[in-house]
A and B are shown apart, each in its own frame.
Chain A
Amino acid sequence: MADFFLQALGQVSSPAVLALIIIGVLFGIIGGSIPGFTVTMAILVVFPFTFAMDPVSGVSLMVGVFVGGYSGGIVSGVMLGIPGTPSSITTVYDGYPMAQKGEPGRALGIGVAASFIGTLISVAVLVFFGPLIASFSMNFRPWEITALIVFALTLVAGLSNGALLKGLLAAALGLLITTVGYDRNSNLRFDFGLPALGSGFEILPVMIGIFAFSQLMGNLEKLRDDQGKVKGVDTNVSIPYRRIFKDMAGQKLNTLRSSLIGSLVGALPGTGGTVANFISYDQAKKFSRQPETFGTGTPSGIVASEASNSAVAGGAFVPTLALGIPGDLPMAIMMGVLILHGITPGPLMFEQNPVLVGAIYASLLIGAVIMVLCQLLLVRWFAKISLIPQEVLVPVVLMLCAIGSYALNNNLFDIWVLFVFGVIGYLLWKAEVPLTPLILGVVLGNNLERQLFRALELDDSWLTFLTRPLSALFLALAVASVIFSLYQDRKIQRNRQQAQRSDAGAD
């Protein structure tokens, strides 16, 4: 593997690929720093630009966006008090108060340093656990893979806060979308007499339509509701390097713990940066000798938040590369990029595409270095860019989404697919249906059907799914995740009813 890594490092270090990583990191930071834009949206906008690139260049650009995006949320979090991405919510708790005390540069510097270390530690986790899990999963047969996909979908659906039924419904809808067009036996399904539907829906316009439209239209609605609440911001920032070194020297354990939490949580399906962010902030507070300082502008809070959310990047690659199962939305899109370039993520990837795997490692490392340099040198500009109004951003992103969808196959029908799924995504979002399980269903649908029927062709008994230990374990975990979510749903409902009752009592 070391040979392949060096070979990949050579390719990634070429000026053209380095330039792409720099562009990716810059765009990621900008995307992450604009409130409401999110890492996922940044990845979706950049995705079409990789179509004409070779796999290493395309993946390097996307990894750059990834690394930049996860660290970008700190800019608006500290400067505006608004998290740029959901995964930097707890950054605001201490970053903003510190900035309000006249130390925005210190808050940003600590956050960037923690992000950098978090990314490095997560790459180490990926390098160590990725091949390990991949070699273990080489023993998986169609029964295990089918059960694992079912488990991943139920887990993601179950994590849709208080909406298990809708989460499961979304996953089923996502899978259903993949049944349109010719199937594995070249039989036509659900074309409704339209020749354009014969080849089914491309994943990209469906994903962009469902996610981007609901997100952008949601931003517009929020803008309408928040009118008049815009606050001014001073973007003059200077970074006190010596102070930051001193701060970070006192945060070794916190940084390591938060980075490991981020890597671990990132590797679990359906969790992602937001969950990692809250868990590591909570743990940092519990382990702290001065828990009362959390929320008032303590470096520990910023370190816990930023180290964990940046560590998610490396951790999230583990199940995607090793099992072919993306854990969260950005990874689902990343998997789409790999599939588009003819690479099937999964256990065989480490054997069949070792250079590409090495390129992902190398891009993560180089991206982390570039991220630190960009953040420290250009933070003032990022703060200014984060003020771009949504009214300008939304039409521009919609236009880029349309062109990106078209560029996939030079097919205008894909723009209509984008539009139709945009409307569907928006309406589902209005009906409070979680969209992540839907997108995961779209990404995993074809593989689920292929593996299910391969299993049945090898052994026509459905009971085999329960008699093979690992397959039975995954299915039992799927059932357990549903039961746990039902319990959580009831608890949330009970708390809500109690709160309503106490409100009524107070009135």
Chain B
Amino acid sequence: MLTLTKDRALALVLLLIVAVMWVESGNIRPPTSWQPYGSALFPRILLVVTGLLSLLILARSLIAGPGTSDAPRRSFIQWLAHNRTVFSLFALFGLYAALLPLVGYIVATLAFLVSSLGLLLGIDSRRKWIINLAVSFTLVPLVFVIFRYGLNVWLP
């Protein structure tokens, strides 16, 4: 049975993206007498190059077999579990981006920093909490003052 290796997954995802973008490129305005090459030519050249390179990577990975990496092989679920800290941090950042327009810079950034520092440092000792709160409550107002008053940039 074929195993889904990194290279195969990469190639398949990219081929899917190339297919979707190729179809979408049909919506680009066609060439005219004063624009003989049209706006779709350049992206289509790149899509062909990307597609060919993805096919080459796929073919090479199929010929070479699943590989002999030293890293232990993991299922997708195991891989997610192994990298849970990283994915949790991504989730926190996504939440931060969503919260910014709703609650504003100060509250959203404080929430993001306290939660992400808690995630990475841990919350099992008083010292960790002190570091967490000291970093968060110093940096958030400091960055606000620098951008708002030093650089005249309005933060949300």
Contacts and interface: CB of A to CB of B under 8 A. Distances in A.
Interface of A: 49, 51-53, 165-166, 168-169, 172-173, 175-176, 179, 183, 185, 187-190, 192, 213, 217, 220-221, 224, 389-392, 394-396, 398-400, 402-403, 406-407, 410, 412, 415-416, 418-419, 422-423, 426, 428, 430-433, 449, 452-453, 456, 460, 500
B24 A217 contact: no
Contacts of B53: 165, 168-169, 172
Given A187-B29, A190-B25, A406 B50 contact: no
Nearest to B90: A423
Given A175-B46, A399-B139, 14 more contacts: A49-B146, A51-B151, A52-B153, A165-B60, A166-B57, A172-B49, A176-B21, A224-B85, A391-B120, A392-B117, A394-B120, A407-B147, A426-B90, A433-B10
B89 A220 contact: yes
A53 B150 CA distance: 10
Contacts of B83: 221
B137 interface: no
A221 B86 CA distance: 8
Contacts of A419: 90, 93-94, 97
18 contacts: A49-B146, A52-B152, A166-B10, A168-B53, A185-B39, A192-B24, A220-B85, A224-B85, A392-B120, A395-B120, A399-B139, A402-B100, A403-B105, A406-B155, A407-B147, A419-B93, A426-B86, A426-B90
Interface in B15-66: 21, 24-25, 28-29, 35-40, 42-43, 46-47, 49-50, 53-54, 56-57, 60
Interface residues of B, number: 59
A123 B156 CA distance: 42
B10 A431 contact: yes
Contacts of B121: 389, 391-392
A434 to B, nearest CB: 13
B143 interface: yes
B14 interface: yes
B42 A452 contact: yes
Interface in B86-102: 86, 89-90, 93-94, 96-97, 100-101
A172 B57 CA distance: 14
Nearest to B146: A49
A266 B95 CA distance: 40
A396 B113 contact: yes
A239 B127 CA distance: 34
Q: Which 4 A-B pairs have the closest CB atoms?
A: A395-B116, A391-B120, A187-B39, A179-B43
B100 A415 contact: yes
Contacts of A172: 46, 49-50, 53
A456 B135 contact: no
Contacts of A220: 85-86, 89, 120
B131 interface: yes
Contact of A412 (B14, B68, B156): B156
B120 A189 contact: no
A176 B46 contact: yes
Contacts of A213: 90
Contact of A189 (B14, B25, B97, B105): B25
B154 interface: yes
A162 B97 CA distance: 37
Main secondary structure on B side of the interface with A: helix
B9 interface: yes
A399 B151 CA distance: 17
B116 A431 contact: no
A392 B131 contact: yes
Contacts of B93: 398, 402, 419, 422
Which of B39, B139, B152 has the largest count of A CB atoms less than 10 A from its CB? Answer: B39
B153 A407 contact: yes
Nearest to A183: B39
Which of B89, B109, B112, B131 has the largest count of A CB atoms less than 10 A from its CB? Answer: B89
Given A183-B39, A431-B7, A431-B10, A396 B139 contact: yes
A410 B153 contact: yes
A460 B36 contact: yes
A398 B116 contact: yes
A400 B93 CA distance: 12
Nearest to A189: B28
B151 A217 contact: no
A166 B138 CA distance: 42
Nearest to A448: B42
A217 B109 contact: no
A395 B117 contact: yes
